[in-house]
Chains A and B, each alone.
Chain A
Amino acid sequence: MSATDAHSHGNYINCEKGLWSWLTTIDHKRIALMYFISIMAFFLVGGLFAILLRLELLSPEPIFMTGDFYNRAMTMHGSIMVFMVIVPGVPALLGNFALPIMLGAHDVAFPKLNLASWYMLMLGAAIAVLSLFWGGVDTGWTFYTPYSGKSADAVTMVVLGAFIMGFSSIMTGVNFIVTVHKLRAPGMTMMRMPLFVWSLYATAIIQVIATPVLGITLLLLVFERTFGVGIFNPALGGDPVLFQHFFWFYSHPAVYIMIIPAMGIVSEVIATFSQKTIFGYKAIAFSSLAISAISFLVWGHHMFVSGQSALSGSIFSVLTMLVGVPTAIKLFNWVATMYKGRVKLDTPMLFAINFLALFTIGGLTGLFLAAFNVDVHLHDTYFVVAHFHYTMLGGALMGFFAGLFYWFPKMSGKMYNEVQGRISAIMTFVGFNLTFIPQFIMGSQGMPRRYHTYDGIFTPYHVASTIGSWIVASGFILAIYILARDFFKGEPLKDGNPWNATTLEWTNTEIVPIHENFTELPTVTGRPYEYR
């Protein structure tokens, strides 16, 4: 093949040069690097909004923001972090890089679709962020009607941006599903796939099934705003609660789009850094699928006080508790994997342990919120804010950073500075807890979320939380700085498998993979993680 000859020299990073070669690349690894840069940029912008919000909340009365400014900053923080960082983060960046190599494939099934998916994310993100110049949006990332039907004009822009980013998510999902089914190397049966691949597979199913519902919902909202078609606005004969049903029918499964891939990373990292076979491979693999299936049946737990009937509330409460079971199974399996292993606390493992500790708290506090009557008290308070930050930041993003440090040597051919990496992991852990534990307490005491000003009794908790936010932000900035610096200046690797991992991306490629991943397709003879 002539393409092979053209790329036979050098690795995937340097086989072609120039900006154009990156913007037109269909190599999944190069696309992953483009996602790396864009998602890190979004993460910093979303984080900047978080820091501003926390700063403003130092005092019960306004410091430097008006109410409208606060509401816009809050909406931008939420929308950027959800739609532009956490949803695409693990699948589009780390999944893109690792999934084909882990399966022993040359690329994903549809390489051009993969590139198109990156452009869709960029287009949607650009539209959403540019809305700031048309006055911004103050509805919160949930766009609840009828408020969003009446609020600023830029709502239409942001909603269209989210709509377009949804296509990026669907395209990536379709690509991964087909890749998993069609491009596995000889001998790579489904039950021999690494758990990260299983998690991406479960995620891709949700992406493909749930995201269109969000797309349609947002489109209906745009129709209502633009053409006055009464769908959600009671003044036009619509039903505002219907929007909540539609929205959460996507957005609850979406939280599993965010967390399941991170769980996959943690499975890889814990097995590798314990140098021991994963405990309960099948249980972990199938619990991902179980979570994605049940996740479609629990959306009503966001609406216990919305006026939905007590009977549907009861059903949603019980079903929600059932999601807790596969989640608990995973936690037990990971801890059991360390039992009689050979544990080493390098940076990826520290981030994975951050995940384990913080996600456990996130999961346990979910029990409070799933309990029907307790949720009446806690709904829409800072308890909920803390809960989902424990799962999304403490869970999804800690897992994401575990994965970034874990695959960094393979992506760059360099080693990051281990001491600094560990410091960043510890800083994020300490800062995170200082930020969000006070939020649990003030939430239980009744501090409502999305409040620009608040009752003075909550001041000490807000001050502690703001100080924590500086530490957690410094930790993440340090981590990103280490990764960026050492991508260029890190110690070059001598060994293509520094962690002594067992999956194909470590065992069957060059130190830095070549453009086609493998010179010869590998043949798989056993399960992953066979440390004997």
Chain B
Amino acid sequence: MRFIGDILQTIFGFSLPEQASEKAYLVDDLYNFVLLLSIVGFIGLMAAMTFFIIKYHRSQNEKAAYIPHNALAETIWTVIPTIIFVGIAIWGLFAYFKMEHVPSNAYKINVTGKQWLWEFTYKKDGLELNTTDIMYVPVNTPIVLDMTATDVIHSFYVPSFRIKKDTVPGMRTRVNFTATKKGDYRIFCTEFCGTSHSRMRGTVRVVSKARFEKWLNREIAEANVSDPVELGSRLFARNCMTCHNVDTTTKIGPGLAGVFGKNRSFSNAADVVANEEYIRESILAPPAKIVKGFPNKMNSFAGLLSEKDIDHLIEYIKTLK
């Protein structure tokens, strides 16, 4: 049987995406079978019609026959399509149940559809990792996606895996697959969800089990860093480093080493001791106190950094010696 499936796949495979999951062949076999049947049926019917049109054209045929019905022909063309059509339905639903069967050891990833991105949540040892756009999965491992949506209905579709399921707000849906080839595969949203529906695409990145473990351990540790100094240093690198050095040398603004706890004098205000209150003000309202000898150049970070971010930055700045 597999042999027949493979022959059909060779003929019609061009019209389907690459098979990259264990159960993709279940869709393709029936697709190819129905396609073969359709082509045969269509050509047969059209050939008969064309033959009749030519042979019994008005210029060729003087008198029409009188054939109001024919019980045998009508029985045949009622019974045979019924058997074929119901046969296709039964094949399709058995294949569907096979596809829906989730192995008990399947690895679970939570998927959330939002206007207009996909969010993937991995859980390990009580820690969580949220990523968007790219979903990493290990090859040859059964995966089950536990899905929902936050705003409107979306639909999670990976053509190469032959899987699709709506994600519905207030409801959990499930879909499962086992990727068989390493590589990147497209994710499309296939339930219309508004302005950027067609941009709601993503990628499944299938990698070796070892690489997946490595990726997950690294990312999940990264995502769960809670040391305020470490977080502060990252924020500093992203936001402050262009103008402030972490030693005592001047860049555009003053170097920040040893500043915390020291007395600061300003060109437009009375001296203060650099405490947490002062640093917070310097970030949110820089022109309030301009350090003597420096121009009024810094922009406010109000709205760009959260309260927590600022706390982390202060903790980091305290450590600069």
Interface, chain A (partner B; CB < 8 A): 67-68, 71, 138-140, 144, 146-147, 150-151, 234-235, 239-241, 274-283, 305-307, 310, 313-314, 317-318, 320-322, 324-325, 328-329, 331-332, 335-336, 338-345, 353, 356-357, 360-361, 364-365, 367-368, 370-377, 379-381, 440-441, 444-446, 448-455, 531-532
Contacts and interface: CB of A to CB of B under 8 A. Distances in A.
B192 A139 contact: yes
B45 interface: yes
B64 A531 contact: yes
A274 B198 contact: no
Nearest to A379: B164
A318 B165 CA distance: 21
A343 B69 CA distance: 19
B46 interface: yes
B153 A324 contact: no
Contact of A448 (B48, B66, B153, B189): B189
A211 to B, nearest CB: 24
B96 A313 contact: yes
On chain B, which size bracket covers the interface? 35 or more
Interface of B: 15-17, 26-27, 30-31, 34-35, 37-38, 41-42, 45-46, 48-49, 52-53, 56-58, 61-70, 73-74, 77-78, 81-82, 85-86, 88-93, 95-97, 99-100, 151-153, 155, 157, 159-160, 162-166, 168-171, 173, 186, 188-199, 201
Nearest to A367: B34
A454 to B, nearest CB: 6
B62 to A, nearest CB: 8
A445 B186 CA distance: 11
A278 B31 CA distance: 35
A391 to B, nearest CB: 14
A325 B80 CA distance: 9
B164 A331 contact: no
Contacts, number: 267
Task: State the main secondary structure of chain A at its contact with B.
Answer: helix
B169 A147 contact: no
B164 A377 contact: yes
A390 B181 CA distance: 36
A58 B272 CA distance: 65
B315 to A, nearest CB: 39
A283 B69 contact: yes
B83 to A, nearest CB: 10
B47 to A, nearest CB: 10
A376 B77 contact: no
Contacts of A455: 186, 201
Contacts of A441: 15
Nearest to B172: A307
A340 B56 contact: yes
Contacts of B70: 279-280, 336
Nearest to A440: B15
13 contacts: A147-B193, A240-B153, A279-B70, A283-B69, A318-B90, A321-B89, A325-B78, A325-B82, A336-B70, A340-B67, A357-B46, A444-B31, A446-B186
B48 to A, nearest CB: 5
A341 B199 CA distance: 55
Contact of B96 (A324, A376, A379): A376
Contacts of B81: 324-325, 328-329
A380 B164 CA distance: 10
B102 to A, nearest CB: 12
Given A67-B195, A240-B153, A368 B49 contact: no
A150 B152 contact: yes
Nearest to A70: B198
Contacts of A324: 81, 85
B171 A339 contact: no
B162 A376 contact: yes
A236 B45 CA distance: 53
A339 B162 contact: no
